[in-house]
Amino acid sequence: MSVARLPTGTDDQGSKRAKGMASPILGFSDEDKDGTIQPHNDALVVTLRIEGYDVKRVLVDQGSTVEVMYPDLYKGLNLRPEDLTTYNSPLVSFEGKTVTLKGQIRLPVQTSSDIVEVDFIVVDAYSPYTAIIAKPWLHALGAVSSTLHQKVKYPSEGRAKK
């Protein structure tokens, strides 16, 4: 995965940071809960710009190691079987069943001015979500997510963005 970012440098400890800027501290406060009904046990579901389209019902799953695309999004983006590459690892659903895979596709996911190329595993299974965004996307963006606050924060242009 690649991320469109400011030029980076390295500090004394070998950490990457934007030249001339300290990395913003990413955290959440009670103020970030404004607009949510507390207490709750809701999953973190967001709208993301994928392949130039605003895609609703994207689950942010900190526990998953792969990004997943479901049939509704695959069809909605007018993707074709020839757009897919082979993906040979088995994938197990939330219910513990092996999922039928159609293949893999790399697509841009945009948040504000940052774009991350994401490898989605396209599956042939029902889901109330259009896609799952997981640890690879969060890590590439340098993002932190909070189900409690129903937000994702990430560093961009020297500031924390939501």
Three-state DSSP at 68 gives strand
Which three-class secondary structure state does DSSP give residue 116? strand
The reported pLDDT for the residue numbered 21 is: 53
User: Residue 36 has what pLDDT?
Assistant: 85
Residue ranges of the chain whose pLDDT lies below 70: 1-23, 156-162
- The confidence score (pLDDT) of residue 14 equals 40
Q: Indicate the domain borders of the chain.
A: 42-161
Task: Write out the two tokens for 71.
Answer: 């049939």
- Residue 33: the pLDDT is 85
Architecture of domain 42-161: Beta Barrel (2.40)
Distance in angstroms (rounded) separating the CA atoms of residues 100 and 92:
9
Q: What is the pLDDT of residue 87?
A: 92
Predicted model pTM = 0.78
CA pair distance 66, 125, nearest whole angstrom: 15
pLDDT at site 162? 59
User: What pLDDT score does 44 carry?
Assistant: 93
